[in-house]
Amino acid sequence: MNSPLLLLAFALILPHVAGCAVAGPPPTIQIQADPSRLSFAIPEGRRGGDPRRDDTARAIGGLTGFQTVSLFNENEPGDADVIVRLKPGAFNWTIETISARGHRLLTTGVVGSYSFRQDIAKHLTAEFGPQTELYKRLMAAKSGGRQDAPTAAAAAPAPAAPVFRSDVEDPSFRLPEDETKFAVVVGVENYQAIPKAEHAARDVRAVKAHLMAAGYPERNIVTLVDQQAGKSALEKYLEAWLPRNTDERSTVLFYFSGHGAPDPEKGEAYLMPWDSDAKYTESTGYPVKRLYAKLNALKARRVLVAMDACFSGAGPRSVIGKGLRPLVSKVDDGGGSAGRVGALTASASDEMTGSDDASGHGLFTYHLLKALNARGGKATLKELFDTLSPKVRDAARRDNRDQTPQLVGDGRATL
């Protein structure tokens, strides 16, 4: 073979030989986080830990629009600002978010075993949306820690976050954990299609802290905030999770902070989930009568309810469809259906429920937690009611309105 033919043969064969060579390890990919945005490190490794095959972070980034990176080792979060931690349980997973800088616990929640990506996305959106205090605080810490010049977006002054002075964020008591105690705690502040219910998210966090101090195990507390608190989620946890997990020994508490609404035609009261529509209360709200019926059907030894909402169709914790008349004269708040359930509600059915803006809580929730602290975490509903009711009435009167908390059903039930 002469030399031109030999060169041609090598030219044709060499690419195929190179293609059969053993590939070296993939190059390390360095991800530079955008300094003007928060970055979330999402656990991967569900299918063997190969970053070329895992896509959880990418999927959650697509669902939220947030900046996400894959996390294979919690001690190596890269440039991420927030570490997401998942703990599998029997029926669902616990989600925790942790500051990558200070390793402080930021939020906790629950995600479903079969819808974990969607639920993680809902949790992150609810807790770290640009309108939240947590986002603003983390971004302020992030921009303060950078040595480089701020971007144009970061240079613009952010609106000052409100400063709340509250003495009910941290419980003043601690009782032994009791595995027979269960709670579903719901707070909807930022609704999908109806006005905001101010302070509801802060209410939920404080209530959960006090329930844990009162002996409710964290694994037995379902916490639903904003997007997590759609109508289907309320149905799932009230009508499936509670019956499946509780028995004759159990104590069950349901807490709701957010909007209530009346059905203008029937005059019945509804709790308004995140995805509710004030024009279609009957089909998108959760009836209070149904709530009491489902709770009464539980085998639990005692069942308690606390609702920081009102059903008059007016005020900061109630809504009604556009063009409909507020302050519906006769609203059935469901109290007649309470049965063996003991309930504390924020106001009479024809009144407005207000806020304690200094503390950043609903007025009813603030004084409920004050009363619980005063009692050292051990109190009947009647004792809590006797303590909080005059405080709420007096505060509302100073605001030139009436707000009269109600005790419904069995006041002897103990938290």
- Do 401 and 296 lie in a common domain? yes
- Do 96 and 241 lie in a common domain? no
- Do 224 and 101 lie in a common domain? no
- Do 124 and 250 lie in a common domain? no
Number of Cβ within a 10 Å radius of residue 30: 7
Does some domain include residue 203?
yes
Q: What is the pLDDT confidence band of residue 160, given thresholds at 50, 70 and 90? A: low
What gap in Å lies between CA 142 and CA 35, rounded to an integer?
8
pLDDT tens digits, residue range 36-80?
688 898 887 544 444 434 578 888 888 888 888 888 777 777 788
What gap in Å lies between CA 209 and CA 205, rounded to an integer?
6
Characterize the bridge pairing of strands 67-71 and 82-88: unpaired
Out of 140, 163, 195, a domain closes at 140
Does some domain include residue 158?
no
Characterize the bridge pairing of strands 92-99 and 355-356: unpaired
Number of domains in the chain: 2
Whether residue 324 has pLDDT greater than 70: no
- Do 122 and 189 lie in a common domain? no
Six-digit token string for 274: 């995140």
> What are the C-alpha distances in Å from 144 to residues 102, 131, 149?
14, 19, 11
What gap in Å lies between CA 47 and CA 77, rounded to an integer?
20
Q: How high is the pLDDT of residue 225? A: 95
- Do 277 and 203 lie in a common domain? yes
Neighbour-count burial of 373, counting CB atoms closer than 10 A to its CB (0-12 exposed, 13-18 middle, 19+ buried): middle
DSSP type of residue 238: I
- Do 200 and 299 lie in a common domain? yes
Integer-rounded Cα Rg, in Å, for the chain is 26
What gap in Å lies between CA 40 and CA 81, rounded to an integer?
6
Whether residue 186 has pLDDT greater than 50: yes
Query: Chain-wide mean pLDDT for the chain?
Result: 80
Does some domain include residue 307?
yes
> Do 310 and 200 form a contact (C-beta atoms < 8 A)?
no
Does some domain include residue 126?
yes
For the domain that residue 346 is a member of, what is the CATH number? 3.40.50.1460
Q: Which helix (H) or strand (E) holds 245?
A: helix 242-245
Give ∠ CA 235-290-246 in degrees, rounded to 5. Answer: 60
Does some domain include residue 157?
no
- Do 342 and 224 lie in a common domain? yes
Does some domain include residue 14?
no
- Do 135 and 198 lie in a common domain? no
- Do 362 and 225 lie in a common domain? yes
Q: Which domain holds residue 77?
A: 39-140
Give the residue-averaged pLDDT of 10-17.
42
Q: Which helix (H) or strand (E) holds 13?
A: helix 3-19
pLDDT tens digits, residue range 245-272?
999 999 999 999 999 988 877 778 999 9
- Do 231 and 375 lie in a common domain? yes
> Do 252 and 302 form a contact (C-beta atoms < 8 A)?
yes
Does some domain include residue 163?
no
Does some domain include residue 389?
yes
Percent of the chain with pLDDT over 70: 77
pLDDT tens digits, residue range 80-136?
889 998 877 656 778 888 888 777 888 888 877 667 788 888 889 888 988 888 888
Q: What residue type is 79 in one-letter code?
A: D
Alpha helices in 80-230 (DSSP H): 116-128, 133-145, 152-155, 200-213
Q: Is 311 or 243 the better-scoring residue by pLDDT?
A: 243
- Do 99 and 198 lie in a common domain? no
Closest C-alpha to 174, from 218, 211, 220, 219: 211
